[in-house]
Structure 1
Amino acid sequence: MKPATQDAARTHRMAFVVMALLFIGAPLVGVYPVFMMKVMCFALFACAFNLLLGFGGLLSFGHAMFLGSAGYVTAHAAKVWGLTPELSIAVGTLCAAALGWVVGKLAIRRQGIYLTMITLALAQMVFFFALQAPFTGGEDGIQAVPRGKLFGLIDLSSTNAMYAFVLAIFLGGFLLIYRIIHSPYGQVLKAIRENEPRTISLGYDADKFKHRAFVLSAALAGLAGGTKSLVFQLASLTDVHWSMSGEVVLMTLVGGLGTIFGPVLGAAVMVTMQNYLAELGAWVTVVQGGIFVVCVLLFRRGIVGEIGHLLKKSL
């Protein structure tokens, strides 16, 4: 391993330990656990989206369909089918992955803005399905979702147990994304992002790699959505609405597109604004837009991207 690679890996390990300690210690210093669980769910969602856009160069403006569909399936599996929480989330994740397989097959036939509009159109179809389907509860959603017992043993109605469960899912999902990025597959994906014709000339099937990225990103977004539905014991239309797809774009760009830890910070910033500026009502959206404009003008690489550039470290 080259010295530069070793230095980058060491930096990533240190940053990961700091991030994990912050999430572990936050409830111990008085931060509301449910708020932190929401941050972790959206952080995983943003990281999944960053895998597709930041490292694959594919802009999906319909990623909320994976988050929301998995949330509905997980909630239905837990409440109606009576499955344990880990099985409910697994079913929701598999559903999101299957949806990602279909959407990816259709979307990668086009590039640029056309790919983006295809994902938006398909996401709107999923939204109206969720609005009309009998098992989704319409505008009321699926409420009073039981958290159940993890592996039939650990009661997740306990906030501490649920927090540990969500933390394990987030850290596991984050490490999986990190491994994908630094695998040979991830290197080819980045090559396609930089110069697709040249990558094809080297013998790689670009469409196959992009399709796999869609499925992986959808599955991880579904993992976040399924976990979120158990945290809040609710699956609603909010998570499949087009505005949620816009929010994950903001999270990724504010934190740092194409960085490893940027989406986590971006999600934390956006969720914090939503929670602590809620008394402003509709003006929260205006404030978010203002912050986004400032970040685009002053922090072209995102917050984490700029920090990494100043420190000359890959974050």
Structure 2
Amino acid sequence: MSHVAHSTNSKPAAEPGVKITTSATIFLLAGLALLVVAPLFFYPIFLMKLLCFALFACAFNLLLGYTGLLSFGHATFFGGAAYFTAHAAKVWGWTPELAVLLGVVGAALLGLVMGFVAIRRQGIYFAMITLALSQMFFFFCLQAGFTQGEDGIQQVPRGYLLGFIDLSVSTNMYYFVLGVFVIGLVIIWRFINSPFGMILKSIRENEARATSLGYSVAHYKLGAFVMSAALAGLAGGVKSLVFQFATLTDVAWQMSGEVILMTLLGGIGTLIGPIFGAGLVVTLQNYLATSDFPVTIITGVVFMVCVLLFRRGIIGEFYASRVGRWLGFEHRH
């Protein structure tokens, strides 16, 4: 009976995915083409920062938008991977791809431990547990020897990708970051459109019904948590190579707040929304950093306006608009 119920429910859920993919593919390919030529018009470091935080926001959205779990501790995975990658590259002399891989594995293990504890609770209790565990990891990084305390790990060498591509050249580093970003985005897209992703959406919509159909909700939540942590770690590891340092800022609770802000601004439960939100926040931070305007106040005002006028997020509202529906988009959150 549960198998029949699952089969009849999964088919309608897959149809909007096909509808969205056709239109979204066009926009994504156009966006990718713009990113390929973007270094000709914009500062590469700014673009690399944008891509790293866009991947971070997409990883967070995998947990919030598609599973319905609000985590206040994702800075643990982002910053933890940054520390692991920086230490491996600088102290152990690992190549950049292996150092980043270590960061991803380390973030996934942290996600496994944190998720195992946190998924036992729901709602605000889940969020508070992730925040508490994240603060514990912050103080660990403050005291641990390999993190070098408040100084952080500085002057991290970018090294040679695959042994022969010099990442100290900004153009090479940019296309490496772009490649990682695209790979991460493809993984997320495949994940949310897989049977596993469909089950996560059913858990988000009605956890009790998913349980009654025989699914182990806790296992699926933990799987989503670990996947989100690993992808956040991928963003953090690459970020440490881009800026050549890893500091306590990467694991602070403010970093978790930033990624929540990015995701909400763009639109939770959408693939493109977190990318747009990250771009908006990073752009504001970059261009207001040298001005007399307080960045946090301006960002807060933008967030307030978006919450009041765009309840689904900017991209979410676009999907729900006539133009978005005409183009074949459908906001599924």
TM-score category (smaller protein): over 0.9
What amino acid sits opposite 1:235 in the alignment?
A
Structure-to-structure mapping, 1:283-302, within 5 angstroms: 283-302=294-313
Q: Paired residue for 2:220, among 200, 203, 209?
A: 209
- What is the CA–CA distance in structure 2 between the aligned matches of 1:18 and 1:241, rounded to whole Å? 35
Between the two proteins, what is the percent identity of the paired residues? 59
Amino acid at match of 1:246: G
Letter in structure 1 aligned against 2:44: P
Query: Which runs of no fewer than 5 residues in structure 2 stay unpaired?
Result: 1-10
CA distance in structure 2 between the partners assigned to 1:243 and 1:51 by the alignment: 20
Q: 1:250 maps to which residue?
A: 261
The offset of 1:280, in angstroms, is 4.4
Closer, same or farther: CA 51–3 of 1 in aligned 2, 3 Å: closer
CA RMSD of aligned residues (A): 1.3
- Aligned counterpart, 1:26: 38
1:16 aligns with 2:28: yes
Aligned residues of 1:257 and 1:301 also touching (Cα < 8 A): yes
- Equivalents in 2 of 1:6, 1:259: separation in Å? 14
C-alpha separation in 2, matches of 1:20 and 1:236: 31
Amino acid at match of 2:85: T
> Hey, what's the Cα distance between the residues in 1 that align with 2:291 and 2:213?
54
**TM superposition shift of 1:283:** 1.6
Note if 1:133 corresponds to 2:144.
yes
- Whether the aligned pair in 2 keeps the contact of 1:136 and 1:142 (CA below 8 Å) is yes
1:171–1:194 Cα change, 3 Å: same
Q: How far 1:5 moved relative to its partner?
A: 4.5
Query: What's 2:5 paired with?
Result: none
Tell me if structure 2 keeps the 8 A contact 1:53–1:60. yes
1:11/1:314 contact within 8 Å kept: no
Q: Say if 1:77 and 1:3 are closer, same or farther in 2 by CA, change over 3 A.
A: closer
Determine the structure 1 residue equivalent to 2:242.
231
The secondary structure found in structure 2 opposite 1:75 is helix
CA distance in 2, matches of 1:125, 1:3: 43
CA shift, 1:314, in A, is: 3.2
Does the aligned pair in 2 maintain the 1:255–1:302 contact within 8 Å? yes
Correspondence for 2:182 among 171, 193, 200: 171
Q: Distance in 2 between matches of 1:3 and 1:219?
A: 29
1:111 is displaced (CA, Å) by: 0.4
Letter in 2 for 1:15: F
> Would you say the 8 A contact 2:16–2:330 is kept in 1?
no
User: Aligned pair count?
Assistant: 314
The 1:194/1:6 distance shift into structure 2, 3 A limit, reads closer
Within a 5 Å distance, the mapping from 1:1-315 to structure 2 comes to 5-28=17-40, 30-280=41-291, 283-310=294-321, 311-312=324-325, 313-314=329-330
Taking the aligned partners of 1:281 and 1:204, their CA distance within structure 2 comes to 54
Q: CA deviation at 1:162?
A: 0.5
Note the C-alpha offset of 1:149: 0.4
CA deviations on 1:17-42 (whole Å, 9 max, x unpaired) are 022122112112x2001100000000
Q: Return the alpha-carbon distance in structure 1 between the equivalents of residues 231 and 163 of structure 2.
A: 24
Distance change in 2, residues 1:141/1:3 (3 Å) = closer
Q: Deviations over 1:223-267 (max 9, x none)?
A: 000000000000011110000000000000000011110000000
TM-score w.r.t. structure 2 length?
0.92
